[in-house]
Structure 1
């Protein structure tokens, strides 16, 4: 970003001329980014229209859009209970063209969760890699748990998942008094038995 830091240029109280800043990031005009819909690059045209329609039809997301526009209250207790899961990152939320964003992630309406989960897990990469992929583009409350549940219910993944079962512990009888039963580890090195 090409912006001078404010402390290096103290304001002159005698001169009131306005200095226009060139708002550019790595040679790209910031206004062009919004025209390109770069935040929705992972969504096709049909999916974008479906996303807008479902976001408008979902009452919780309508309330969320309204609170983003009007401003969040000072305390979490003042927020409607259904919106409290958005409180920790309220400063990251924005609305662009009727779609809610959490940073660069698109907030997905509940009706589209199953389809998005299927697309995220299309390559059967496992729980952590599916979560990582989701963090790059989509968000909804409890997405991490939904991904885990979806991957664990995937028959292909469960069939090919390596089976690493733990050896069960073999308990022994509890001695009736101290020093009644002793145990030691035996091992052998170069045919010498040691204790």
Structure 2
């Protein structure tokens, strides 16, 4: 060595060159090492939007209170210039009803008019899962309505920073598959993973575009057949199945499985994922939706639950029923008797002129008339 050392022991109390912050006379803290706290995830939990909450906010909304009064006693023939806020409701006065003290719009679905104080919360629930404008509007048209809802949905979807960072690039155009004419006529399958520490089997119906997602422990031919059999046990066997040229999907056992159950099996071009676009497109939606929710502090199970709440149209086409949405609870309105609804009184028309009874004019069907009003 280049140096020789004589090492001497010196007590800590005799040290004078320690940094000031580590030697400040703050006193002893015997409980410091005994307390242990851990915070893994903080999730903001809000109660579901129910009828009682809407009624409480409706009492504070001056516009909706005036609309409720007009629906109950009858609308004037013409609105005053000072009542411009009532014009969107006046144009749809024949479709407005009162059910359990809630203002409803009767069209294809019985939708509740939301007071202004709850609209921001409703928009947050509609955007739960960070879906785009189309999905948000589809979900809103099943439950809620207010005059500017479509503009509010567009503004929220375009201003979400998480969606801006994670949305995919615009897809390129390819030749589409022939349109399916019936449910379960053709399905597209694909594997996803490893994502979120697991492998996933994606199965999408070409007619309803409703997906089935199964978590896989491994992607062997035997496990793939078992996973597909669990789906087919509920939905039945499809006529045609489309997949890529994965080794487990081109194995003899898998081809024999298709032949045994009369399934026409089609493989797409190698290294061309757009050929199985339905499965690939949903795979992108699954990854982006769950990734957004994970960044938003939501765990994997709740992210998948939020995903299932947005697939109502495809589920209805496939099985003619909707999922039960636990975040928007209006079951008592769906099961209410028709006698409970208070219809808006119709203003008498001038059909009696000079005591001479004239025939009533021919009106279009009710559905067509309401559709025209909604435009």
Quote the residue 2:140 is aligned against.
Answer: 134
2:67 is matched with 64
SS state at 1:124 partner: coil
Q: How does 1:39-188 map to 2 (within 5 A)?
A: 44=48, 47-76=50-79, 80-103=83-106, 104-164=110-170
Uncovered stretches (5+) of structure 2, i.e. residues with no partner? 1-46, 171-375
Shift of 1:49: 1.4
Which protein has the bigger helix share? 1
How big is the shift at 1:73? 2.1
* TM-score, scaled relative to structure 1: 0.57
Deviation at 1:76, TM superposition (A): 4.7
Q: CA deviation at 1:87?
A: 2.0
SS at match of 2:131: coil
- Which secondary structure does the structure 2 equivalent of 1:130 belong to? helix
- The structural deviation recorded for 1:74 is 2.3
Partner SS state of residue 157, structure 1? helix
Partner SS for 1:74: coil
**In 1, Cα distance between equivalents of 2:79 and 2:167:** 42
Per chain length, whose mean CA-contact separation is higher, i.e. which structure has more relative contact order (CA < 8 Å, sep 6+)?
2
State the structure with more CA Rg.
2
Paired residue secondary structure (1:80): helix
Query: TM-score normalized by structure 2?
Result: 0.31
Q: CA deviation digits over 1:140-178, x for unaligned, max 9?
A: 1110000011111112211112344xxxxxxxxxxxxxx
Taking the aligned partners of 2:131 and 2:149, their CA distance within structure 1 comes to: 16
CA distance in 2, matches of 1:118, 1:155: 14
The answer as to whether partners of 1:73 and 1:79 remain within 8 angstroms in 2 is: no
Equivalent position SS for 2:130: coil
Aligned residues: 121
Q: 1:80, CA displacement in angstroms?
A: 2.1
Question: CA separation in 1, counterparts of 2:83 and 2:60?
Answer: 18
Where does residue 22 of structure 1 map in the other structure?
none
- Alignment check: 8 A CA contact 1:55 1:62 kept: yes
CA distance in 2, matches of 1:79, 1:88: 16
Supply the distance in 1 between the matched residues of 2:120 and 2:95 (Cα, whole angstroms). 25
After TM superposition, the runs of 4+ consecutive aligned structure 1 residues lying more than 6 A away are: none
Cα distance between partner residues in 2 of 1:69 and 1:99: 12
